[in-house]
Chain A
């Protein structure tokens, strides 16, 4: 690889923040003031937190790189460093080309200004020149579909229109290196599709793109390579599929505090353990869930359990009730249950598992979103063409067989003509 292919070089970059720990927790201003007067010299304890540590990577021209990682892994910090919003604590970043960044949709939009004025304002904030905006103006407006409301202040826009206009400006940004942070999660499904299409055009136009998203499907279909950030360090770097697999192999655990449970239900039994064996699954994987139920009350003789798997919109897609298996449980001090769901065939996305302990008398414990899982965007089919799967909720096992075929001769359409 010759040096002229380089678009971004990041060498030994770290970024630290100082966080202050405010020990006393005051609920009123008066309380805080009294505390201040009593201890005038008290300084909050400070701690250095490394958001990014010793990051090294290079991006070639025309490469589309997906940056993935859990919340707090340092993705946004990395993008902020690259777009020069904040400075690295150590290290050097070299950019070989004009960089435009899109960390938020509609930055600088002003509610009092009209749609037209906001296009100019937002465009120039994102680094477009006035001429560039003028040239692209019609395309931007057409993309957003707000032609009639151009001279209306955007405070009168519906939130959908607002977001569409904001994204439309961003989609017409034309830098050599583009940095995008989680901006596809806007608008309705129809518009999201359009946004994804716009991003695909950008990715295919030979520009260098760094793309952060939690939507693995978007990462998978847009990016050629990936960087997996884990607690401020590079966990893996390579082709996008392997990067996603690294990301998903990290087991997600959730600690359930036994004391101070403020959950709905009568509380005679509580979930004290609720753990899946992995954080991310393939559609065809079995999901294993370990539950621990502890008895806290005296009177309840027994219970059954009911589990709901909800998608990101909160819609339950699977409902698993122990009564369906003729299972009800008697009172014990501590009960461990192991649930297996075979081949969910769920479509890619994030899901929450909610556990409910019930009796005929009502809800005993409801653990909302006790576990969160992700179904990876890897299709259980022989192809990797994500675009064919659309927005289906399930990936069923199906086949198409060809029957006895007959050659057809082209037929002319019979026109219904009066003459």
Chain B
């Protein structure tokens, strides 16, 4: 093991202290795609293991939430349905977007702390963990969407061409959720406080975004100077948009100026989240 002259062959991997912002290194993540899929598979398998009715929960959860929302907004608050369909269908469509958002955010934010054993004992690109959480959300979304279509058929809602934009709305919602989720995950490594703050933020967002009611209702009720404040939350346009893509012309059409703003926000939050995560990544194993 004596010293040698400087080497001429390039090493496969060079490990050195890093500073500042780092590249995302997407190629490395691609190399770990098997791990990504296995972890995603694990999450899906584990979700309903040792449950009596298993996958039925995927359907039941949004249905029960939709019943509660219909009860509160339609029956108690007497808000009329904004279209030709029952309020329940409207609420369920709103919950589709909401569930995708909240489940991605809460899963992504706990992915590091929940897998601390992996983080401190094995090397892999850490971004694999938050990304792997998306798959189970997508499966849930798919199942819930089938129920949505059944509800639409039942209530004679004919989708318009707007339905083609559904994947775009979903993607934007997931980008916001992932961006915030990755930042929260990275911060949770040092500060477990995030764990307690996040549920509060999530429930604030659920009632502060047009999930159980429409933006037009807010516009009607709120003084005009507060409208921009409400729309500053990019989720407002995104949830409204996703619902519009499903229920078509009978649902309120989103304001396109605010949609543009929401798109910028979604991309910005996602990029910020990914790079912020990457920047904090190097101390995960030491601190966790």
Which residues of A approach B to under 8 Å, CB–CB? 1-4, 6, 9, 17, 57-60, 63, 65, 80-99, 101, 103-104, 107-108, 110, 112-113, 117, 120-121, 124-130, 225, 237-238
Mark contacts of B115-128 with chain A using CB atoms, 8 A cut-off: 1 yes-contact digit, 0 otherwise.
10111111110000
Q: Is the CB of A87 within 8 A of B14?
A: no
Question: Cα distance A117–B46 when bound, in Å?
Answer: 11
Instruction: Find chain A residues with CB under 8 A from B3 CB.
Output: 58
The CA-CA distance from A331 to B49 in the complex, in Å, is 69
Chain A binder among B15-23, B89-97, B145-153, B166-174: B15-23
- Evaluate whether A87 and B42 lie within 8 angstroms (CB atoms) in the complex, with A96-B9, A130-B34 already known: no
Answer whether residue B282 sits at the interface, using C-beta atoms and an 8 A cutoff: yes
Q: Is the CB of B285 within 8 A of A3?
A: no
The closest CB in chain A to the CB of B11 belongs to A94
Measured CA separation A128–B33 after assembly (Å) = 11
Collect the chain B residues with CB atoms within 8 Å of residue A237's CB.
1
Contact A113 B11 (CB under 8 A): no
Instruction: Compute the total of residue contacts between A and B using a CB distance below 8 Å.
Output: 126
**Distance of A98 Cα from B11 Cα, bound (Å):** 10
A-side contacts of B12, CB under 8 Å: 95-98
Which residue of B4, B14, B34, B50 contacts A112 across the interface (Cβ within 8 Å)? B50
B119 contact set on A, CB distance < 8 A: 85
Q: Across the interface, which residues of A come within 8 angstroms of B78, CB to CB?
A: none
Q: Is B2 an interface residue (CB 8 A)?
A: yes
Q: Name the interface size band of chain B.
A: 35 or more
A interface, by DSSP: helix, strand, loop or mixed?
mixed
CB distance from B278 to the nearest CB of A (A): 13
The docked-state distance in angstroms from the alpha carbon of A238 to that of B37 is 43
> Which residues of chain B are near A84, meaning CB under 8 Å?
13, 15, 123
Report if B265 contacts A (CB, 8 A). Answer: no
User: Which of B8, B13, B37, B124 is A99 in contact with, Cβ under 8 Å?
Assistant: B13
List of A residues within 8 angstroms of B25 by Cβ: none
CB atoms of A94 and B14 under 8 A apart: yes
CB of B38 within 8 Å of the partner chain: yes
Q: Tell me which residues across on chain B come within 8 A of A4, comparing CB atoms.
A: 9
Given contact pairs A9-B11, A108-B122, enumerate 15 new A-B contacts (beta carbons under 8 Å). A6-B7, A57-B1, A63-B1, A85-B285, A88-B16, A92-B14, A92-B15, A93-B14, A93-B15, A93-B16, A94-B7, A121-B38, A121-B39, A124-B38, A125-B122
CB distance from A123 to the nearest CB of B (A): 8
Residues of the A chain whose Cβ atoms lie less than 8 Å from the Cβ of B124? 125, 127
Report yes or no: B4 in contact with A107, Cβ–Cβ below 8 A.
no
B20 CB, min distance to chain A CBs, angstroms: 13
A129 to B17, Cβ gap below 8 A?
A: no
- Measured in the bound complex, the distance between the Cα atoms of B241 and A261 in whole Å is 73
